Chain A
């Protein structure tokens, strides 16, 4: 299913989409496939595969650490594509989250082509703003990959309008000024930011990320957003577990809790 269809289907069901993030190759290629499949089976509507990068300036300590482990274990860009293929092959909706340099290095058009062939339907670019994205916009159009750029509480109305106009699929609203990582409370800036995106384009689905870690928080965000994006809390299930089996168990349990959270409320 494409990312657009996934949002459309959830909307028809009167609920938000749950997006679960996991770095490719963490801790190994096969383990990360197992993690992602487990997340999808337990209720994540979209699997956000993060391509591990040496200098992830938008990410907090959990994703940094998981990415470092994946890179130390030798994960390559082509492994990430292989992981996407395996996960998409189970029927899950897959999007890629990636910093820009690995894509530029691979070749922008070639990457869009191979990403589409692997079965991903969208790509999130945390350090590529539309202002610098001419090449990506052309390549993603050519290969029918949905584009997700970020908006932030500090974005001006003009920038929100410009960013949303360049997105396809959904727009990623960073709920607070900061890096990724679970927080004890959901940012009060998030609902306002979602409202500002809707003012720019009432039709564009809005996913909210940064800070969600529990079913209750997922429900809270689902009340005002079209998508709830969870990364660090899910990754920590594996990172902090004594062994992979118990890590995957926790991952399933948290995914199910979050999935229940997004289903417990009707988006306004």
Chain B
């Protein structure tokens, strides 16, 4: 199969992607695009990037055969251990790449948006390492829910700005970061946290996190002598999913599954499943699937996982969905939390609640694949992050915290 090279030069994945931004940002996006193209072909840049990924971030991450989990769900499960990376998630790959690009463009300041705080912490980390000023926008609701991550960012030298408008969550933090950028593009790089937003961000972020997939593919060939039957990942904005999918897109026989946050269930309207529960529209600079009402106003998303709690999705996922190359399904909070507990108990690994959506989805598709293939399927699951940050949420969910802790303000709904 000769896959088309996407996106096109204007950042389109079919009808998705592109640039729906104020004209004031176009020059900065063009500069970023040019800087990225030249960096891509520059062996010095690439060596610096892969060197940091190897020596600082701890990649390639392991591909671990999870035998007890395999037995529990009826599949041969291989976990791509992005949770073992420095800062505890795949996101370090993106921030190191973009912070190096900021340096290359001579921009001394980076700004970032964050929901749960993971991308904010990763950005603050890369900024500290590369001596960049860092400002992180975070919805006020989230700063209260994730006080520990706010402290982490400040510890690393970043300024955290609580955003008090709109729904005071990730989408509003993103709006505020865009507003900052419109006013500061000369000195500032916007370190966008997922493979979404205006061109060239979806492509740049995909490429920086693409090592997840190229590593996993090689590891499969080395460790199994063949490719897996399926690759599974959770999808919020979609960076970890596109990161692991991309290397496999040309392998037609490898099924790609993205699991969106189904919240209370897509049918309740309280979810964050943009593809399976939303419709095509324009949000935050790109055409993609969004949660919107009949007037095109953005609808608030809901998920137990703050990292998936976003009403849009990267445009390449919209395209992979429409073309049928990848399959997207919602996983609701209860299913995700059951899988969260299952991984803790079978493998001694506490996953991020985001990643637990991929685990739950894999458990759901395992019998389906077994029947289709007539044998035990092999599934690579992207374990995109570790769950330390979620222990409080999970503890409250399972009722295993003592009462005083459960009542920490802001944590309960």
A interacts with B = yes
Chain A residues 92-149 with CB under 8 Å of chain B are 100-106, 126-129, 131-132, 149
B296 neighbours in A (Cβ, 8 Å): 53, 77, 101-106
Within 8 Å of chain B (Cβ to Cβ): is A152? Answer: yes
Q: Are B27 and A129 in contact (CB under 8 A)?
A: no
Q: Tell me the interface secondary structure of chain B in the complex.
A: mixed
Q: Are A71 and B297 in contact (CB under 8 A)?
A: yes
B62 neighbours in A (Cβ, 8 Å): none
> What 1/0 mask marks residues of chain B from 85 to 111 whose CB sits below 8 Å from any chain A CB?
000000000000000000000000000
A68 neighbours in B (Cβ, 8 Å): 165-166
- A103–B296 Cα distance when bound, in Å, is 8
Within 8 Å of chain A (Cβ to Cβ): is B269? Answer: no
Q: Are A101 and B292 in contact (CB under 8 A)?
A: yes
- Give the residue among B184, B186, B287, B297 with the most A Cβ atoms within 10 A: B297
Within 8 Å of chain A (Cβ to Cβ): is B22? Answer: yes
Within 8 Å of chain A (Cβ to Cβ): is B66? Answer: no
**A131 touching B10 in the complex, CB below 8 Å, given contacts A54-B298, A104-B282, A155-B27:** yes
Q: Are A101 and B24 in contact (CB under 8 A)?
A: no
Interface size class of A (residues with CB under 8 A): 35 or more
- A129–B24 Cα distance when bound, in Å, is 10
Within 8 Å of chain A (Cβ to Cβ): is B267? Answer: no
Of B22, B282, B294, which is within 8 A of A58 by CB? B22
Q: Are B23 and A57 in contact (CB under 8 A)?
A: no
- A131–B189 Cα distance when bound, in Å, is 23
B298 neighbours in A (Cβ, 8 Å): 54-55, 101
- A68–B182 Cα distance when bound, in Å, is 21
Of A55, A150, A153, A159, which is within 8 A of B284 by CB? A55
- Give the residue among B18, B22, B186, B292 with the most A Cβ atoms within 10 A: B22
Q: Are B297 and A57 in contact (CB under 8 A)?
A: no
Closest chain A residue to B167, Cβ basis: A54
Within 8 Å of chain A (Cβ to Cβ): is B183? Answer: yes
- A156–B26 Cα distance when bound, in Å, is 9
Q: Are A179 and B282 in contact (CB under 8 A)?
A: no
> B209 to nearest A CB, angstroms?
25
Q: Are A127 and B179 in contact (CB under 8 A)?
A: no
Within 8 Å of chain A (Cβ to Cβ): is B19? Answer: yes
Chain A residues 48-103 with CB under 8 Å of chain B are 53-58, 60-61, 64-65, 68, 71, 76-77, 100-103
- A114–B85 Cα distance when bound, in Å, is 54
- A76–B297 Cα distance when bound, in Å, is 9
- A159–B24 Cα distance when bound, in Å, is 11
A106 neighbours in B (Cβ, 8 Å): 295-296
Within 8 Å of chain B (Cβ to Cβ): is A14? Answer: no
Q: Are B295 and A77 in contact (CB under 8 A)?
A: yes
- A105–B280 Cα distance when bound, in Å, is 9
Q: Are A150 and B22 in contact (CB under 8 A)?
A: yes
Chain B residues 140-182 with CB under 8 Å of chain A are 165-166, 171, 175, 178-179, 182
Closest chain A residue to B186, Cβ basis: A177
> A77 to nearest B CB, angstroms?
5
- A103–B285 Cα distance when bound, in Å, is 15
- A178–B285 Cα distance when bound, in Å, is 17
Q: Are B22 and A57 in contact (CB under 8 A)?
A: yes
Within 8 Å of chain B (Cβ to Cβ): is A35? Answer: no
Q: Are B23 and A179 in contact (CB under 8 A)?
A: no
Q: Are A127 and B22 in contact (CB under 8 A)?
A: yes
Chain B residues 43-64 with CB under 8 Å of chain A are none
- A155–B283 Cα distance when bound, in Å, is 23
Chain B residues 181-230 with CB under 8 Å of chain A are 182-186
- Give the residue among A100, A154, A178 with the most B Cβ atoms within 10 A: A154
Q: Are B297 and A159 in contact (CB under 8 A)?
A: no
B292 neighbours in A (Cβ, 8 Å): 101, 105
> What 1/0 mask marks residues of chain B from 7 to 45 whose CB sits below 8 Å from any chain A CB?
000100000001111111011100000000000000000
> B334 to nearest A CB, angstroms?
29
Within 8 Å of chain A (Cβ to Cβ): is B367? Answer: no
> B386 to nearest A CB, angstroms?
31
Q: Are B27 and A127 in contact (CB under 8 A)?
A: no
Of A57, A60, A101, A177, which is within 8 A of B281 by CB? A101
Within 8 Å of chain B (Cβ to Cβ): is A16? Answer: no
**A105 touching B27 in the complex, CB below 8 Å, given contacts A55-B298, A127-B20, A177-B182:** no
**A149 touching B23 in the complex, CB below 8 Å, given contacts A54-B166, A68-B165:** yes
Q: Give the B-binding residues of A (Cβ under 8 A).
A: 53-58, 60-61, 64-65, 68, 71, 76-77, 100-106, 126-129, 131-132, 149-156, 159, 163, 174, 177-179
Given contacts A54-B166, A55-B175, A105-B296, 9 further A-B contacts (CB under 8 A): A58-B22, A71-B297, A101-B292, A101-B298, A104-B282, A132-B20, A155-B24, A174-B23, A178-B182
Q: Give the A-binding residues of B (Cβ under 8 A).
A: 10, 18-24, 26-28, 165-166, 171, 175, 178-179, 182-186, 281-285, 287, 290, 292, 294-298
Q: Can you list 6 A-B pairs with a CB-CB distance of less than 8 A?
A: A57-B21, A101-B283, A129-B26, A154-B26, A163-B23, A179-B182
